[in-house]
Amino acid sequence: MIGKIFPKSAGSFKNRIRYIFGCTKHDHEISGIRTISHNTMSCDPLPAVLQGNEADLTEMIKEFDQVETLRRFSIDSDKPIKPVFHAMLSLRPGESLTTPQWRTAVQTYLNDLGFDETNQFVAVMHQDKDHQHVHIVANRIRLNDDFGMVKDSNERSVSLESVSGIEDRFNLSKAPKPKDTWGVSITHAELHASIRDNDLPLKHKMIAKIAGAIEATNAQDGDMFDFVRALRKQKVYINLTLNDQGQPKGISFEFDGKHISGRQLKRSRLTWQKLTTQEGIHYDPETIYELQREITRRDSEEQERARIYFYEFIAVSGRRRKPVYVRFTAKDYEVQKLIQEILELLDAIFDALFKPKECRLKRNYIEFTSGTPFSIPEEDELTI
């Protein structure tokens, strides 16, 4: 299970409540919707909403909104507040809870976050194909004599602990921990992608790998060269942006063919300045050229993957000798075997028309270094 708390807001509950009851556009398909629980005096608006009638929904929204009005008149305060709380609990594809189980999960989650019976709430489950998730909208203002507010300090860590307890109670898949994402929150779109793919988003994978490289570098009191090597072991590579003096002013990270700047990943820790000051990775400006050479290095396996091969087939019959090419990389070993078997088959069946022995393997070596163009050395031909 993954728990996400959306940004709080001031003003009316209208947009959030209409959203969770499916009255506004969603970024995912809703194949089913069900009210899990609510504690308002107004009735469940879902049956009428499904019939196209929002009268009951309007009554529920008014009930939520009236509490802030009562609070303002009662305590005579103009202090800005954000009473609208919106959270989501999401299961992995294939997992499900019954309505009573969801009701227990929602109540447990709200209680852990400090909500009680004086706080209005409504919880609605959305079914997205085989993925269940519940939206919870609650009023942070307590409907009692002093109209106090539910505190939100440390709510992220409290939310993680609460979700972990719910997972244990219902034997659900465990969500990524903060150490896996290095404290970077997951966006709504990334959350759905993570659930769909049953994997961490790419950005959070990169952060976890970079965090491990920083820890490994610091453990040996290493410098930027050690950091680059530690990243390379994780298949993460860096690219530097230089200033007018030829010194680094920015850094980006590459993993699985994707490039993300350190600022976009985590601006408080992964920019060039933060790495060399806050994170304690030593860098000597006199070594910039050696560092750039180290950065452009790739492991032998990565170099092998970069090699491009071509099989060139030339038919010897007819007036024109038009070649046919099959392109593959060095890692496509099975393709090489398949081509060899095809050649043997053609030799046996079409010997008079097609001369496999005159087919040549043209081998090109291409190594890509970010920031420089592709270079293609001269070809050499191997006769098969």
The DSSP code sequence of 49-96 is HHTT--HHHHHHHHHHHHHHHHHHHHHT-------EEEEEEEPPTT--
Residue 171 has pLDDT above 70, yes or no: yes
Identify the band that residue 330 occupies on the pLDDT scale cut at 50, 70 and 90.
Answer: low
The mean pLDDT of the chain is 78
Q: Which residues of the chain are in CATH 3.30.930.30 domains?
A: 2-197
Residue 54 has pLDDT above 70, yes or no: yes
Q: What's the CATH architecture for 2-197?
A: 2-Layer Sandwich (3.30)
Q: How far apart are CA 138 and CA 84, in angstroms?
A: 6
Q: Which residue has the higher pLDDT, 266 or 102?
A: 102
The β-bridge partners of 251 are: 240
**CA distances for 202 relative to 181, 199, 216, 259, 355, angstroms:** 10, 9, 21, 10, 48
Percent over 90 (pLDDT), the chain: 34
Q: How far apart are CA 272 and CA 262, in angstroms?
A: 7
pLDDT of residue 199: 47
pLDDT of residue 353: 53
pLDDT of residue 309: 58
**Does the pTM of the predicted model rise above 0.75?**
no
Nearest C-alpha neighbor of 3 from the set 140, 174, 143: 174
Q: Over the range 245-284, which residues count as b (16 or more CB within 10 Å of their CB) and which as e?
A: eeebeebbbbbeeeebbbbebbeebbbbebbbeebebebe
Mean pLDDT of 107-116: 95
Residue 106 has pLDDT above 90, yes or no: yes
Q: Which residue has the higher pLDDT, 68 or 312?
A: 68
Residue 143 has pLDDT above 60, yes or no: yes
pLDDT of residue 360: 47
Sequence length of the chain is 384
Q: Which residue has the higher pLDDT, 29 or 223?
A: 223
79-88, 197-206, 254-263, 273-282 — which is least confidently predicted?
Answer: 197-206
Residue 363 has pLDDT above 50, yes or no: no
Residue 87 has pLDDT above 70, yes or no: yes
pLDDT of residue 327: 62
Mean pLDDT of 323-334: 60
pLDDT of residue 272: 92
pLDDT of residue 216: 85
Residue 104 has pLDDT above 60, yes or no: yes
- Dihedral pair phi/psi, residue 141, rounded to 5°: -85, 125
Residue 18 has pLDDT above 80, yes or no: yes
19-28, 201-210, 266-275, 311-320 — which is least confidently predicted?
Answer: 311-320
Q: Is 49 left (phi over 0), alpha (psi -120 to 50) or beta?
A: alpha
